[in-house]
Structure 1
């Protein structure tokens, strides 16, 4: 069963950034990306759903295709997911104005105006992806994510796999993950989180105060500040995430500032502090600077 809606896109919207984010897995297990759009599979309230987006003349033409009845509650969740995958949670204009006279980041903004933070479809996807990607290289992380989807998710009738929800992951055994190259600690953290969310002990609600969310997540064994901040960024669209523990952020500062050594984590935290309450966009531009030919 499907529903359609058009979402107006702001001037200067960077379609290619959105397509690039969702095409990281070349095998396209849960995301299929073409020149003018994408299809994304995700489980919402236990229902396999495919979100299809076609970009056309200043608008995203969206279709929600659910296996089963498309209730108002399910449609509302799908619409929230569409805002996430289109990167429409944070308006980059506020950050551009904030750093207009900043000698460090203003040149980066000038070279790539309108950069956006593209998000995962759900908070649970963002958080599990952060756990999967901890302390490993990106290609291996993408491979693990693919295995995670295929062992815990379910296929939509169209054939596209859907990213799992907490209850799907909570039903797994540890060996379901460790047999697919997950480290024991990573597998335990994923299962621990999924069980807490499935039981209602941890509530991944975008409307909750950020301080409460951070405190709740940090109390979970295996989840540290970097994982929480990354999940806030990719899942909640929180505008002031401090990614001072991120190696790429530290590398970007090193390239911009020079010096013999990359700044350590406390120094990077201090470097990011002046950009509050816009540290999420600061991270986006620092990440982008690493592949910016003008830098």
Structure 2
């Protein structure tokens, strides 16, 4: 995990999952793809909604364009696809390329929070109410893809985020494929993550070069061997999906929660076992920087059914205690 409360090197959980997306004007893509227009029923902030899907500023599967767009390269059930999303005048324009284009466009509303119900959330603390007021465009994304969130979450287990992001970048670029459409060309092409069989065939020394220890690599290998069963969990309730994910040795409550928050848009899947989150929640709601998981869950009880949303709003509030401990030491097994 990243250093305590470090603002520039933290997990999506710690920073609240926000990506800065500059305002822009419509721009014609170099090679037009399939298009879908969709009008959300309320405020929509692309950076807030899609931010948790980015694994670091150099994520080869995610890009925030200067024209206000967000690009994602995904491995869908129909194959690889690239999606470009932008909001103009309150209307969303989605454009997609590749074999997975139709699937991505069909998933577009849920990706942008159409299945989420922000009105079900009732703030119980002033700091939470203020954060909600300042972030009216926050909705919880639902990608409909499990491995896409599970694998990078496993890579983030018990290491600094810099290490985890570097491993994700290295493995996706080394073993993935170029994103379909205009995003896959140029000096900084986007990439689609490897298919399950490709993950399974990565040799041990390549995991080592990417800085991934045997424990995390083994967890990913076990997961991709049952990839079809794990992807079926998208059709299950979030709690049941977590139970299925945790059957895989090496996948615990932290990893399963981080996964279903993205794949299912799970509003109540609060992350437990996190190095930073209990202290941040404890500080914001009770002035207790030393809160543990038990104390955090007790403080979040008034938000039952919406605990993940409450935690995100707390993270976005900026109410974090000053760092007083040294950062977690970085390790790089790839250099050993």
The farther-off stretch of 273-282 and 239-248 is: 239-248
Residue 62 of structure 1 deviates from its aligned partner by 0.9
2:147 touches 2:231 (CA, 8 Å); kept in 1? Answer: no
Question: Deviation digits for residues 132-184 of structure 1, max 9, x if unmatched?
Answer: 11222222222111112123321135332112332331232333212211111
The farther-off stretch of 141-150 and 210-219 is: 210-219
Matches within 5 A, 1:60-75: 60-66=92-98, 70=99, 74-75=100-101
2:241 aligned with 1:213, yes or no? yes
1:32 touches 1:39 (CA, 8 Å); kept in 2? Answer: yes
Query: In the aligned structure 2, how far is the partner of 1:242 from the partner of 1:20?
Result: 17
TM-score, normalised by the number of residues in structure 1: 0.83
Query: What secondary structure sits across from 2:234 in the alignment?
Result: coil
2:138 aligned with 1:115, yes or no? yes
Residue 244 of structure 1 deviates from its aligned partner by 3.3
Query: In the aligned structure 2, how far is the partner of 1:121 from the partner of 1:291?
Result: 32
Pair 1:152–1:88, CA change in 2 (3 A)? farther
Pairing partner for 1:175 from 205, 208, 222: 205
Aligned to 2:72: 40
Query: What secondary structure sits across from 1:29 in the alignment?
Result: coil
Residue 280 of structure 1 deviates from its aligned partner by 2.0
Matches within 5 A, 1:215-294: 215-259=243-287, 261-290=289-318
2:83 touches 2:104 (CA, 8 Å); kept in 1? Answer: yes
Query: In the aligned structure 2, how far is the partner of 1:152 from the partner of 1:84?
Result: 29
Aligned to 1:166: 196
Matches within 5 A, 1:184-195: 184-195=214-225
Query: In the aligned structure 1, how far is the partner of 2:144 from the partner of 2:195?
Result: 11
Question: Deviation digits for residues 34-78 of structure 1, max 9, x if unmatched?
Answer: 131022112223632111122211122111101xxx4xxx45531
Question: Deviation digits for residues 204-255 of structure 1, max 9, x if unmatched?
Answer: 4321233432222112111111111111111111221122333332122232
Aligned to 1:135: 158
Aligned residues: 281
The farther-off stretch of 2-11 and 278-287 is: 2-11
1:44 touches 1:77 (CA, 8 Å); kept in 2? Answer: yes
Residue 188 of structure 1 deviates from its aligned partner by 0.9
Aligned to 1:30: 61
1:244 touches 1:272 (CA, 8 Å); kept in 2? Answer: no
1:87 touches 1:117 (CA, 8 Å); kept in 2? Answer: yes
Pair 1:261–1:286, CA change in 2 (3 A)? closer
Query: In the aligned structure 2, how far is the partner of 1:135 from the partner of 1:87?
Result: 30
TM-score, normalised by the number of residues in structure 2: 0.74
The farther-off stretch of 152-161 and 126-135 is: 152-161
Query: What secondary structure sits across from 1:54 in the alignment?
Result: strand
Aligned to 1:15: 46
Query: In the aligned structure 1, how far is the partner of 2:234 from the partner of 2:56?
Result: 26
Query: In the aligned structure 2, how far is the partner of 1:246 from the partner of 1:291?
Result: 17
Query: In the aligned structure 2, how far is the partner of 1:226 from the partner of 1:174?
Result: 25
1:30 touches 1:41 (CA, 8 Å); kept in 2? Answer: yes
Q: Per chain length, whose mean CA-contact separation is higher, i.e. which structure has more relative contact order (CA < 8 Å, sep 6+)?
A: 2
